A and B are shown apart, each in its own frame.
Chain A
Amino acid sequence: MGIDQEVLERYHLGICSVQEQQLVEEWLFSADADELDLVAFDGSKADLKQEMWTEIRGVLPKNIAAVKPKSNAYFMWKGAIAASLFIVAMGAAAYFTFGINSVAENPSLSFSNSSAQHVKRIDAKSYNVSLGPNSSAKINSAAGVIDLSGSLLISPKKDVEWQFEGTTKKVTLKKGQTYIILKNSTGAEGIIVISESNLLDLPPVMQKQITTQFDI
């Protein structure tokens, strides 16, 4: 059996069989395995280009009208258009400046780590995250919502209060501290949030797994 998109999707959803899981992991960690056998594209390159161009033309403005002889009004309009363009440009600049700022302050980020062994590290604007093996997380710091499946280690760069998606459980994470968040089952009771300084309160078998996994 080969690795295809379908198997990979099932693997990430955690619904594949043990045999499939082994195959995917072998493939993921093997440097000389076959390339991914994605669903083949069954058309020519030229057809695809044509199709794309048709789509682009559909949203472009209609052909510009033929140039007419210049009248006196031309110069007046030229000035007015230039002024309008300037105003539009300024508006656009302002929009992008403030728009981008607000986006950067309120990012909604999704991460996933399909490795069965290794931790994935992510540096975001307001926090650093290490995502555990076979884990995925979605953090919307604007809405203050976090969704997690698996395990993660997080160090916020400012104090935050987040709610777990689909639950009423809220958690306050303080700047400068490191927290371990674990979620295995659905609902608030399957969630464990513990600061690194309370790590020794977790069962020793779990501590050993966590310190090994996150190298802390």
Chain B
Amino acid sequence: MIFNTFRLAAVLVCLLTLLGCKTKTEKKARYSFYILAKDGREYLIENDVLDQGNLTPEGNGVLLEGRNMDRDVIVKAGYYYHLDRKTALFSKSSIHDKKLKIQFNILLKDFSIENFNWLATDTLLLTGLNISGYNQTRFFLIDTKAMKVIRQGNMEIPKPAGKFTTLSIGLVDKQGEHLNIAYTYHIAKGVSDYITSDTMYVSALSYPEMKLLKTDKDVRSTYPGGINTIQSYSFIDGNNDSYFMTCPGIALGNRPEIPTGIFRIRSGASEIDKTYFFNISTSKINNHAYGMWPLGNGKVIVRSERKDLFKGLGDHYSTAHFEFYVLDLKSKDVTRLNLPLDKGTRRECVLVEGDTAYIAVNANKAGNFIWIYDIKTGSLKKGLQLGGDTDFILRMDKLN
């Protein structure tokens, strides 16, 4: 009997060791790419390096079948979080054996994400609108480890009134015990006819009650931020000051006569700093920009359009016309990065690690490359290539 118990224990130990070895061999990749191929198919590719090699979606990627994944995905610690608009299921997935497998699903009814914020390692705040009308701000606070809704409800942000029909939330920042939420209103008349208010608002809401504390207005620009599951528009610096850009150009606000700019909310404050405004449109960029990524030390990269190279919304996404600039937020110096013109209206395409910024560029003829920018020396060189059927690198994320 005792002998049998020992034998059983030995077998179990062996089995566990084997299983342990197996899980260890499934190495977690460091980076993830979301690819739109030339034939319209979409792929996720995971890889460990950004500075060399050549990957193809058809050879190295995981084909995304069905419609439960899209580029508005939140990538964190090996997992992909995505809200399926049609099924209202918020899924947590990861790649195993060359397949994207859903681990958990939770139902987030009548909800469309405008912004996400990680409040802690496994606490995710999703803010957005009701799908039935896009006129009521709502939130879900989610425990992403247990995949459970901790709290949900409406936010006390005034609904669009008068001529306004809908709104956009472009920035959500937690400052101490309150949230700062930047937003603006729109008049939508049909599928291709809309306009944005000339005013942006920042409301302070109590957290987690989401009760309105105060509201600040600004008319120096409009359309604060954007949907940050698709591209980044804001960050908090080392002093806990919050910076965000506005996007009144045709790709977001459709008020091209209003300048694109960068604004600041001081640490702990709940109104826009009236002494600070970086006017991008009147700088030497002389165009609208969409997308901002911090490089550290008061510098950012912005992605700006070239109005002389596209005709309208019809070719805005398909023409290679985007440029990258490094901006010094304090001195307001502007430096153009010597990169090929990039295509795709909105992309999550910059990753910063130490003194290196990795920039994914979809050039027309020069191919799809990750470019390596040395923040200190300003040098630029080509790194990893995304070849084969790649048409657009839509996202580049840090996976682990």
Cross-chain contact A200 with B313 (CB below 8 angstroms) = no
Cross-chain contact A197 with B344 (CB below 8 angstroms) = no
- Tell me, in angstroms, the Cα distance from A3 to B186 when the chains sit together: 34
- Tell me, in angstroms, the Cα distance from A134 to B193 when the chains sit together: 13
B292 to chain A, nearest CB (A): 17
Cross-chain contact A197 with B192 (CB below 8 angstroms) = no
Partner of B317, one of A151, A194, A205, A206: A194
Q: Counting CB contacts under 8 A, is B178 at the interface?
A: no
A200-B192 contact, Cβ under 8 Å, with A192-B314, A195-B40: no
Q: Counting CB contacts under 8 A, is B72 at the interface?
A: yes
Cross-chain contact A182 with B192 (CB below 8 angstroms) = yes
Cross-chain contact B166 with A189 (CB below 8 angstroms) = no
Which 5 pairs, one residue from A and one from B, show the smallest C-beta to C-beta distance?
A201-B317, A201-B345, A192-B314, A182-B192, A205-B194
Cross-chain contact A209 with B230 (CB below 8 angstroms) = no
Cross-chain contact B188 with A200 (CB below 8 angstroms) = no
Chain A residues with Cβ under 8 A from B131's Cβ?
212
Cross-chain contact A204 with B192 (CB below 8 angstroms) = no
- Tell me, in angstroms, the Cα distance from A209 to B135 when the chains sit together: 12
**Between-chain CB contacts (< 8 Å), 17 pairs:** A174-B39, A176-B40, A184-B192, A194-B317, A197-B36, A197-B40, A200-B230, A201-B344, A203-B194, A203-B254, A204-B226, A204-B252, A205-B166, A205-B194, A206-B194, A208-B112, A209-B190
Q: Counting CB contacts under 8 A, is B346 at the interface?
A: yes
**6 additional contacts (CB under 8 A) given A151-B190, A203-B251, A204-B168:** A176-B40, A182-B192, A191-B314, A201-B346, A204-B227, A213-B191
Interface range on chain A: under 10, 10 to 19, 20 to 34, or 35 or more?
20 to 34
A189-B311 contact, Cβ under 8 Å, with A201-B316, A204-B226, A208-B112: yes
Chain B residues with Cβ under 8 A from A174's Cβ?
39-40
The interface bits of chain B over 210-238 (1 if a CB of A lies within 8 angstroms of the residue's CB, else 0) are 00000000000000001100100000000
Cross-chain contact A200 with B42 (CB below 8 angstroms) = no
Cross-chain contact B346 with A205 (CB below 8 angstroms) = no
A38 to chain B, nearest CB (A): 30
Chain A residues with Cβ under 8 A from B257's Cβ?
none
Chain A residues with Cβ under 8 A from B191's Cβ?
132, 151, 182, 206, 209-210, 213
Q: Counting CB contacts under 8 A, is B29 at the interface?
A: no
Chain A residues with Cβ under 8 A from B254's Cβ?
203, 205
**Which residues of B line the A interface, CB within 8 A?**
36, 39-40, 42, 70-72, 85, 112, 131, 134, 166, 168, 186, 188, 190-194, 196, 226-227, 230, 250-254, 311-314, 316-318, 344-346
Chain A residues with Cβ under 8 A from B317's Cβ?
194, 198, 201-202
Chain A residues with Cβ under 8 A from B251's Cβ?
201, 203
Cross-chain contact A203 with B313 (CB below 8 angstroms) = yes
Q: Counting CB contacts under 8 A, is A102 at the interface?
A: no
Cross-chain contact A200 with B346 (CB below 8 angstroms) = yes
The interface bits of chain A over 48-68 (1 if a CB of B lies within 8 angstroms of the residue's CB, else 0) are 000000000000000000000
Q: Counting CB contacts under 8 A, is A177 at the interface?
A: yes
Residue of B nearest to A210 (CB): B191
Residue of A nearest to B85 (CB): A211
- Tell me, in angstroms, the Cα distance from A47 to B169 when the chains sit together: 69
Cross-chain contact B314 with A193 (CB below 8 angstroms) = yes
Chain A residues with Cβ under 8 A from B168's Cβ?
204-205
Chain B residues with Cβ under 8 A from A206's Cβ?
191-192, 194
Cross-chain contact A208 with B166 (CB below 8 angstroms) = yes
- Tell me, in angstroms, the Cα distance from A208 to B191 when the chains sit together: 8
Chain A residues with Cβ under 8 A from B190's Cβ?
134, 151, 184, 209
Chain A residues with Cβ under 8 A from B39's Cβ?
174
- Tell me, in angstroms, the Cα distance from A212 to B311 when the chains sit together: 27
Chain A residues with Cβ under 8 A from B85's Cβ?
211
A183 to chain B, nearest CB (A): 8
A205-B186 contact, Cβ under 8 Å, with A177-B40, A189-B312, A197-B36: yes
Chain A residues with Cβ under 8 A from B226's Cβ?
204
The interface bits of chain A over 118-158 (1 if a CB of B lies within 8 angstroms of the residue's CB, else 0) are 00000000000000101000000000000000010000000
Residue of A nearest to B313 (CB): A192
Chain A residues with Cβ under 8 A from B71's Cβ?
200
- Tell me, in angstroms, the Cα distance from A174 to B40 when the chains sit together: 9
Residue of A nearest to B167 (CB): A205
Chain B residues with Cβ under 8 A from A203's Cβ?
194, 250-254, 313
- Tell me, in angstroms, the Cα distance from A204 to B223 when the chains sit together: 11
A136 to chain B, nearest CB (A): 14
Chain A residues with Cβ under 8 A from B311's Cβ?
188-189
- Tell me, in angstroms, the Cα distance from A203 to B252 when the chains sit together: 5
B322 to chain A, nearest CB (A): 12
Chain A residues with Cβ under 8 A from B252's Cβ?
203-204
- Tell me, in angstroms, the Cα distance from A200 to B346 when the chains sit together: 8
- Tell me, in angstroms, the Cα distance from A140 to B301 when the chains sit together: 47
Chain B residues with Cβ under 8 A from A208's Cβ?
112, 134, 166, 188
